[in-house]
């Protein structure tokens, strides 16, 4: 789960703290950004100002400076840095904001957590004892660097990631809103791997008795939601296996998805494709891993299949367990599973939707 975070270029200065204390403060802030943050710069000059501050801020200890450089490189590689405005627009900068009205003007709708300097916290009205303020009008949390670890927005994502469980009877739409949407928002690509991904779709096509009260199964439900929040022109790839009775071939499965989805002429997704292994009877094995991965370098790995989301509420008595992945090595292992699946002989790919 990711939050959109704006960081003022003058927020790196934390006063006359001893280096060990300053390093600890920065480490807590950086850990939150790495695990649950996307950096949103209001303009290119603001981005450049932060880079300069990381390199030259006199009060930034050596260890913290190295960690900031490491984190910015990490976020860049994970495509978790966004820059708005124009290349020469220096009027949009969080560091120059001193009133809530100005904050709303430059951040509303783009930012969920704004990190400001201690000097800016008083004119913005942040309580001295907490360093944290929620502006409900603009739906923005404003925090000093020391208060970021107590941010309600980030704590909410952290708690959900630590829990990693949706109980029986819980709504799949709530799971989307709370868990998947904060990962999919603005993403340019998503890859789903599940060897049984299309089984519920095929069961609906066969009009199996247990499907008659379903509104839509999980594939179409997921595509409709992704189509509403991902970046324009985004690509989604669904990777699965036919290795079960009742499975359809790849072109037929693509046609069924299109017919059930009925995608509108406009939407975020530029391309949706399916890759299905037709290895019925093969001694080779499709990867057991089940996950959905986004280009931000984050993913959800499921202990059970995504078919737990086939109905409007989770009906399995065991609920649904999942793990949030953001570490490069963990996400790299998921990419390796995808590569193994796509390298299987007999896998076929079909485009479901391709928009201009």
Task: Assess contact for 40 and 84: CB atoms under 8 A.
Answer: yes
Kindly state whether residues 170 and 286 are assigned to the same domain: yes
- Residue corresponding to tokens 């595509």: 223
CA angle 43, 145, 69 (to 5 degrees): 60
Task: Give the DSSP letter of residue 313.
Answer: B
Per the document, the length of the chain is 356
Interatomic CA distance for residues 152 and 132, integer angstroms: 9
Q: What is the mean pLDDT of the chain?
A: 90
Domain count, the chain: 2
Kindly state whether residues 207 and 265 are assigned to the same domain: yes
Residue 281 has pLDDT above 70, yes or no: no
CATH (domain of 191): 3.30.870.10
Mean pLDDT (whole number) for 227-251: 89
Interatomic CA distance for residues 78 and 315, integer angstroms: 35
Share of the chain above pLDDT 90, in %: 68
What per-residue string of b and e applies to 302-325 under the rule 16 or more CB within 10 Å gives b?
beebbbbbbbeebeeeebbebebb
Kindly state whether residues 300 and 173 are assigned to the same domain: yes
* Per-residue pLDDT at 333: 96
* Per-residue pLDDT at 17: 83
* Per-residue pLDDT at 98: 86
DSSP calls for 125-142 = T--TTT-EEEETTTTEEE
- Residue corresponding to tokens 């951040």: 107
Kindly state whether residues 7 and 85 are assigned to the same domain: yes
Mean pLDDT (whole number) for 330-337: 96
Domain that holds residue 27: 3-156
The helix/strand/coil state of 209 is: helix
Structural domain includes residue 96: yes
* Per-residue pLDDT at 223: 97
* Per-residue pLDDT at 85: 67
Interatomic CA distance for residues 36 and 153, integer angstroms: 10
Residue 248 has pLDDT above 90, yes or no: no
Structural domain includes residue 217: yes
Share of the chain above pLDDT 70, in %: 96
Q: What is the enclosing helix (H) or strand (E) of 183?
A: helix 181-184
Q: With bands split at pLDDT 50, 70 and 90, how would you rate the model's confidence at 89? A: low
Kindly state whether residues 264 and 289 are assigned to the same domain: yes
Task: Give the DSSP letter of residue 87.
Answer: T
Mean pLDDT (whole number) for 225-229: 97
Q: With bands split at pLDDT 50, 70 and 90, how would you rate the model's confidence at 285? A: confident
Mean pLDDT (whole number) for 312-330: 94
CA 332 to mean position of chain CA atoms: 16
Q: What is the enclosing helix (H) or strand (E) of 338?
A: helix 328-342
Interatomic CA distance for residues 46 and 283, integer angstroms: 56
Kindly state whether residues 171 and 150 are assigned to the same domain: no
Residue 319 has pLDDT above 90, yes or no: yes
Kindly report, residue by residue over 114-130, the tens digit of the pLDDT. 999 988 998 999 999 99
Task: Assess contact for 181 and 162: CB atoms under 8 A.
Answer: no
Residue 66 has pLDDT above 80, yes or no: yes
Structural domain includes residue 53: yes
Interatomic CA distance for residues 3 and 25, integer angstroms: 20
Structural domain includes residue 120: yes
Task: Assess contact for 347 and 341: CB atoms under 8 A.
Answer: yes
Mean pLDDT (whole number) for 198-222: 81
* Per-residue pLDDT at 154: 95
Kindly state whether residues 133 and 224 are assigned to the same domain: no
DSSP calls for 238-263 = EEEE--STTPPPHHHHHHHHHHHH--
Kindly report, residue by residue over 255-278, the tens digit of the pLDDT. 999 999 999 998 999 999 999 998
Q: What are residue 349's phi and psi, to 5 degrees? A: -120, 140
* Domain end position, chosen among 156, 177, 196: 156
Kindly state whether residues 194 and 271 are assigned to the same domain: yes
- Backbone torsion region of residue 131, taken as left when φ is above 0, otherwise alpha when ψ lies between -120 and 50, otherwise beta: left
Kindly state whether residues 74 and 170 are assigned to the same domain: no
């Amino acid at each position: 789960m990711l939050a959109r975070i704006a960081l003022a270029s003058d927020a790196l200065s934390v006063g006359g703290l001893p280096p060990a204390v300053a390093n600890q403060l920065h480490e807590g802030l950086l850990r939150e950004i790495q695990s649950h943050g996307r950096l949103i710069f209001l303009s290119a000059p603001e981005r450049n100002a932060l880079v300069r501050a990381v390199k030259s801020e006199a009060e930034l200890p050596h260890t913290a400076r190295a960690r900031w450089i490491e984190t910015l490189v990490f976020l860049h590689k994970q495509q978790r840095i966004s820059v708005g405005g124009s290349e020469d627009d220096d009027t949009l900068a969080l560091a120059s904001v001193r009133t809530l009205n100005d904050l709303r003007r430059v951040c509303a709708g783009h930012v969920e957590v704004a990190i400001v300097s201690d000097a800016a916290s008083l004119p913005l009205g942040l309580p001295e004892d907490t360093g944290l303020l929620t502006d409900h009008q603009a739906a923005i949390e404003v925090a000093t660097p020391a208060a970021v670890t107590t941010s309600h927005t980030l704590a909410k994502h952290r708690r959900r990631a630590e829990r990693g469980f949706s109980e029986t009877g819980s709504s799949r739409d709530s799971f989307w809103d709370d868990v998947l949407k904060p990962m999919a928002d603005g993403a340019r690509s998503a890859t789903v791997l599940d060897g049984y991904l299309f089984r519920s779709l095929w069961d609906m096509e066969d009009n199996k008795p247990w499907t008659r009260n379903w509104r839509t199964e999980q594939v179409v439900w997921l595509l409709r939601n992704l189509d509403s929040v991902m970046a324009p022109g985004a690509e989604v790839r669904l990777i699965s296996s036919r290795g079960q009775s009742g499975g359809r071939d790849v072109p037929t499965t693509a046609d069924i998805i299109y017919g059930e989805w009925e995608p509108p002429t406009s939407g975020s997704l530029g391309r949706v494709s399916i890759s299905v292994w037709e290895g019925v009877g093969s001694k080779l094995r499709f990867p057991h891993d089940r996950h959905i991965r986004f280009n931000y370098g984050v993913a959800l790995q499921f202990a059970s299949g995504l078919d737990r989301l086939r109905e409007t509420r989770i009906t399995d008595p065991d609920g649904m367990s999942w793990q949030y992945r953001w570490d490069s090595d963990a996400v790299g292992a998921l990419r390796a599973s995808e590569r193994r699946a796509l390298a299987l002989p007999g896998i076929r790919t079909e485009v479901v939707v391709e928009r201009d």
